[in-house]
Structure 1
Amino acid sequence: MKPKNEISGSPKNLRQPARDHLDEQAARAQCAPIESDAQKQLQELHVHQIELEMQNAELQQARTNSDVNLARYTDLYDFAPIGYFTLDCDGSILEVNLTGATLLRTERSRLSGQPLSNFIAPERQPEFRNFMRKVMLGQGKEIHEMGFLNAENEPLIAHIEATMDASGKACRLVMLDITERKQTEEALRYSREMLRHMVSHQEHVKEDERKRIAREIHDDLGQNLLALRLDIAMLHERTSQHHPRLHRKTAAALEQIDTTLKAVRTAINNLRPTVLDLGLNAAIEWLVKDFQQRNGIRCTLIMDETEFALDDERATALFRILQESFNNVLRHANADHVRVEVRSDGASIFMTIGDNGVGFFPGCRRKANSFGLLGITERVNALHGRLDIDSCQDKGTCLSISLPLKSSGAD
């Protein structure tokens, strides 16, 4: 297919149409056949004249089409939503569209010949030079995010892509303003960080309140129940021979008090297990044994014999994570075996909890009611740890948690 701007007829191709046109004129004039050489030459001149007129008409049409296309492509270039730059090998601006000039807050005529690096902060200059060096090597398109300063000294964060042109003497660079997107991302990151700090603070408050309530229950209610049991036990002992009916009543009361004491101990352990005061190793051993005895699910515990040296916050977090994992196994996994492994490499502590239950699909933990895993995730993130979940339907679930043994400055 011929390009629109190409002249469709060459001089050779226009010769016959010109002759036909001249014959038609002669026929209309009812001229006699041309016989003399002069007449033949005159005829040839007329043919050339008509041929030139046809060529001129086609040239005029081609020029009109070319002007229309140029105007259209100029509009596309100038009013594109991204900035287009042509830079020489020194990084100076040779050409720029209106969008590029607008991004830099400078008239387009004043940008010609200016180094693009003039709009980059001094501390980012080496980064930009390194980017341009890679572009000039001509090994393909280079992509980068760069911070600019426009003519009004306002920050501009741009996504830039550049490549060498076909001549190898200039490069084409496109610039997309992503300042608003970056600001939104930063605001979202800050919001998430604040939310994480708030959740962490709430966990601290919750644990402190649990400790206080557990201590009060132990010191007040527990001690009062114990004193009451001692009194009733003494009464029970004295009425064994002379007051059988009262003896039976005191026996029933002792059973009720024992049941109440057991419920109080359970409540205290749920609020704040006293075994945590003996260290994480003892707390994990107690929790695994208690879970196995209560629910009949076989548990395997693999743990370093050396006592883990970590603060109360991390010890409590790991204990709560294991506690919540056991609850998830009991409610959802339908498993008959749980394997718990706890180890340390001196810098971090690692805990793995695996079961042989039904597992779940990858998207299930994003459901609105999956607060157990969400709580575990938040605890791990608050302590700058890492959580990996490996699960497959009918093949069980494995949670791998790692936490630094020492708190970072961000805590």
Structure 2
Amino acid sequence: MLDGQGNKEDERPLRLRRAGPRRTGATARQRARERRAEELAARLQDEIAAHYATHRALLESRGMLDSVIKSISEAVFIKDLDSRYLVFNAAAERMFEVGAAQVLGRKADALFGAEAARRMLAADLDVIQSRAPITYEVTGAAVDSARIYLTTKAPFFDTTGEMVGIIGISKDITERKQQELAFARQAAQLAMAQRIARTGSWEHDLVKGTVWRSEEVCRLLGVPRHEIDTTLQAFMDYIEPAAVPRVRAALARTMETGEPYSEEYWLRTAGGRRYVHSMAEIARAPDGRAMRIVGTVQDITDRKLADDRLRESEAELAEAQRIAHFGSWAWDIASGAIRWSAETYRMFGVAPDEFSPSLDAYWQFVHPDDLEPVQRATLASLDAARDFTIDYRIVPRDGEVRVVHSVGELRRAPDGTPIGMTGTIYDITDRKRAEDALRRSEKRLAQAQEIARVGSWEIDLLDGQQVVSDGACRIFGLDPAAGPYRLRDLRAMMSPADREQIDAAAGAMISGGAALDLELRIDRADGAQRIVHSVAEVLRDADGVPVALLGTVQDVTERRQYEEALAESHREMRQLYHHLQEVQEDERGRIAREVHDEFGAVLTALHLAVHRLTNLAAPASPEAAEVIAQMRGMLATASESLDHIVDGLQPQMLTYLGIAATVDWYCSKFADRTKIRCESELPKKELEVEPQAAVALFRCLQESLTNVAKHARARQVHVVLAARGANIELDVADDGRGLGHTPGRRPNGFGIRGMTERVTRLGGQVVMDSGPLGGTRVRVTLPRNNTNN
């Protein structure tokens, strides 16, 4: 072992010698003291030997540490508590490009740049204060500012636990950092590519049974990376149940046969249903064992939906072509091949699997009379390099001649050379028939307008064109042959007021108002005055923009004269009806009074006679008494019938007690006679009503209750008589079947019509509707003072 100057130390332990010769005859105390001294000397000798052994081991460890520090590839250094370097190995010399002799005993601020030294000394201070290791990265720690170093510094303790310095290790991690950065950049680019392509990657470890998924797969599933379950079953749970058996079978087939895996299915993700395409291959060990399944999963929802929409669109197009009898075709000039749509095949009555379209085969379907024009139009289109449109007849397989409208569009190469044609063929047989029928109909319409004295006119709001039919010209006294005429020629025969009226109505109609419907008076050129009825409406396009005005005019002069005569006749009949009602009421009152006076007196006399006869004949015989009792009963019945007849003609109560008491009395009589519950709600004081109004109210009550008894099947009736403002109202409501379910109880029946006529004459009204009890309600309203009526 070398000492501090490099000399080999004596490794032999020291041996203690006795202090002198033992004296014989020593006392026992002396011998004991000597033994203790010998034991102490032996123990001291052992400790010295152990010290030398420890020293030797320490020197060996120091040599080994020096060897490690010198040979290690990382830079190793040791500093004292003042941050002066004590050890600085060869790797540190290379890293910092400075020799150990220049470093030992000096601080960093005397060796390196100010910024690098500041960082080093700050780290030293952190270790000293915390008495704990620290690790940090630093760029350009000393010389090369482009290098990155990973440095670990830790406190250095002696055997007593006292901190005596700092030991540090620095490693150049520039290449590793560059690799990590390149890997991170590649990972980011891959993640971006996966995100753009909506394609994630996955890996199924067949040994561990776990599944790794890329960030894009996690995003697709809508689950954060740290929360996702790594088992295969967890991924299967995202697949729609119907597709799970198919996916499992495909994976099993891939593991068994090694063939590539490729499946499409729906996923149930946190963001909704997504359609994906998954592909995978087996990754094997060198011995051929299957280790992993590595694959991708691509979100193709948009493509799937687009494909579905395309198929739906193609199906809808085929269906639309079938419904509209609208086919399509394409012709390749070089090969001569012709492609037809499904509707084109149907139009010609052939099936795709039994007929191959060609130009020669197509000519066979063209009607012989139209073959030459069609061929000429086709060839002319090719020669002139232009499109063509032509109508012609075809003869399908079923032999029924059809009319078609064909449009061909020329397809050209980049140099302008015709290479083919695409076009449509439209079955216009029905349209042709409709056009022929329309022409015949227009002719018949013109004849009908002439007979019915009706004309028509039209204004095109886009180009201002006007059309006036021959019928309209004749109505306004114009000669159709001298035309054409415009609407201003017709307006010239109208009065200024009518022109303003028709202009205002037309403007409102164009702005979205109601259709024009006016009667106008015209002074024709021949001097005749006529009444015309004009009706018009606006024709709008698909966007609601007005494009035309369509109207008709009809000469209604004679009809208006007939209507005025008929209205006058109705007025006279109504006056006659009202007069008859007055006469009838007067006659009823007179008859009621005469019957009451004459027959009432007779019945009273008979009552007195029977009473007298009773006193005279009572003792005579029982038979006579029985006959007298029968006479009494017949007289009572006759009196009751007389009262009923008189009340039916015109109740005396109406004259003497007023309408309220009469209504109450009649409701009671109605309930007794029909067994229908009848409640009346009357004013507390008698109403002051003119006799005509009182009679009208009573007759309305009679008619309403009669209808209830005959038709309503009601169980109760509620009658209200009340004064409301200047009017008197009678309200009769039942709980019967109502108007819609009551045969014979029509609002225009004779009884209801009589009520309406009677009340209308007095300035009132009758309203029938559904009542609060669920049946029918009749509401009669009369003015209190009807003097003016």
TM range (shorter): 0.5 to 0.7
Q: Is 1:93–1:113's contact at 8 Å kept on the other side of the alignment? A: no
1:77 and 1:251 map into 2 onto residues whose CA distance is: 87
2:478 corresponds in structure 1 to: 106
Partner of 1:158: 533
Q: Distance in 2 between matches of 1:177 and 1:246?
A: 88
Given the alignment, which residue of 183, 198, 220 partners 2:598? 220
Work out which of the residue numbers 382, 391, 395 in structure 2 matches 1:13.
382
* In 2: Cα distance, 1:334 partner to 1:125 partner: 58
C-alpha distance after superposition, 1:190-249 (max 9, x if no partner): 554444444333322222221111111112121122134234434544x37875679836
Could you tell me which residue of structure 1 aligns to residue 350 of structure 2?
Answer: none
Report the Cα distance in structure 1 between the residues aligned to 2:618 and 2:443, rounded to whole angstroms. 110
Partner SS, residue 403 of structure 1: strand
What is the aligned partner in structure 1 of residue 268 from structure 2? none
Contact map agreement 1:352 1:400 (CA 8 A) in 2 = yes
Q: CA deviation at 1:400?
A: 2.5
1:319 aligns with 2:694: no
Show CA shifts across 1:325-345 (max 9, x none): 222222333333211112232
Residue of structure 2 equivalent to 1:119: 493
Q: How many Å separate the matches in 1 of 2:605 and 2:513?
A: 85
Deviations 1:4-63 (A, max 9, x none): xxx96796534599xxxxxxxxxxxxxxxxxxxxxxxxxxxxxxxxxxxxxxxxxxxxxx
Q: What is the CA–CA distance in structure 2 between the aligned matches of 1:405 and 1:160, rounded to whole Å?
A: 44
Asked if 1:275 corresponds to 2:650, the answer is no
Give the aligned residue type for 1:102.
R
Shift of the 10–382 alpha-carbon distance from structure 1 to 2, 3 Å rule, reads farther
Q: CA deviation at 1:294?
A: 3.0
| Cα deviations by residue, 1:352-377 (Å, 9 ceiling, x for unpaired) | 21222344535734779965445444
- Residue 279 of structure 1 deviates from its aligned partner by 1.3
Corresponding residue for residue 131 of structure 1: 505
Contact 1:148–1:157 (Cα < 8 Å) also in 2: yes
Are 2:668 and 1:301 equivalent residues in the alignment?
no
1:34-113 to structure 2, matched below 5 A, reads 79=446, 81=449, 82-85=454-457, 96-108=468-480, 109=482
> Among 514, 521, 537, which residue is 1:148 paired with?
521
| 1:199 pairs with 2:573 | no
1:212 match: secondary structure: helix
Structure 2 counterpart of 1:389 = 769
User: Which structure has the larger Rg over C-alpha atoms?
Assistant: 2
The one-letter code matched in structure 2 to 1:156 is: I
Deviates more, 1:380-389 or 1:283-292: 380-389
Distance change >3 Å, CA 368–CA 130, structure 1 → 2: closer
Over 3 Å counting, the alpha-carbon distance change for 1:300 and 1:76 in structure 2 is same
Q: Which runs of 5+ in 2 are unaligned?
A: 1-325, 327-375, 387-434
**Higher share of residues assigned helix:** 1
C-alpha contact (below 8 Å) 1:200/1:382 kept by paired residues: yes
| Amino acid in structure 1 at the alignment position of 2:593 | R
Which residue number in structure 2 is paired with residue 176 of structure 1? 553
- Partner secondary structure for residue 342 of structure 1: strand
- Cα distance in 1, alignment partners of residues 634 and 760 from structure 2: 44
- Secondary structure at the counterpart of residue 286 of structure 1: helix
Distance of 1:371 and 1:146 partners within structure 2: 34
- In structure 2, the residue matched to 1:38 is none
CA distance in 2, matches of 1:279, 1:234: 38
In structure 2, C-alpha distance between the alignment counterparts of 1:372 and 1:291, rounded to whole Å: 18
Moved more, 331-340 or 173-182: 173-182
- How many angstroms apart in 2 are the aligned matches of 1:368 and 1:243? 63
How much does 1:257 deviate? 2.9
Q: Would the alpha carbon gap of residues 338 and 94 (structure 1) be closer, same or farther in structure 2, given more than 3 Å must change?
A: closer
* Residue 101 of structure 1, CA deviation: 1.0
Give the match for residue 130 of structure 2.
none
Q: CA deviation at 1:385?
A: 1.2
Residues in 1 aligned to 2:747 and 2:770: alpha-carbon distance in whole angstroms: 20
8 Å CA contact 2:659–2:694 kept in 1: the answer is: yes
* Partner in structure 2 of residue 361 of structure 1: 740
Q: 1:293 to 1:367 in 2, by over 3 A?
A: closer
Contact 2:458 2:550 in 1 (8 A): yes
1:336 to 707, 712, 715: 715
Q: 1:315 to 1:124 in 2, by over 3 A?
A: farther
334-343 vs 357-366, which moves further: 357-366
Conserved? CA contact 1:78–1:98, under 8 Å: no
SS at match of 1:100: helix
Name the SS of the counterpart of 2:689 in structure 1: coil
Amino acid at match of 1:287: Y
Task: Indicate if the aligned counterparts of 1:103 and 1:150 stay in contact, CA closer than 8 A.
Answer: no
CA offset digits 1:56-107 (Å, max 9, x no partner): xxxxxxxxxxxx99xx69x769937343446799xx9965332121110123
> Aligned partner of 2:554: which letter?
D
Which residue matches 1:58?
none
1:361 is paired with a residue whose SS is: helix
Q: Specify which structure has the bigger relative contact order, considering alpha-carbon pairs within 8 angstroms and separated by 6 or more residues.
A: 1
Most deviating of 207-216 and 245-254: 245-254
1:140–1:163 Cα contact (<8 Å) kept: no
Equivalent residue runs for 1:193-272 within 5 Å: 193-237=571-615, 239=616, 248=625, 252-272=630-650
Equivalent residue letter for 1:317? A
Is the strand fraction higher in 1 or 2?
2
2:418 alignment partner in structure 1 = none
Q: So what's the TM-score if we normalise by structure 1?
A: 0.67
CA RMSD of aligned residues (A): 4.6
CA distance in 1, matches of 2:540, 2:644: 76
What is the aligned-residue identity percentage?
Answer: 25
How far is the alpha carbon of 1:321 from its aligned partner?
1.8
Q: Secondary structure at the match of 2:740?
A: coil
* CA-to-aligned-CA distance 1:124-157 (integer Å, 9 cap, x gap): 344234224436x655774121212141332223
Larger mean CA deviation between 214-223 and 326-335 belongs to: 326-335
- Equivalent residues, number: 349
Letter in 2 for 1:385: Q
Read off the aligned partner of 2:534 and give its amino acid letter. Answer: H
Partner of 2:477: helix, strand, or coil?
coil
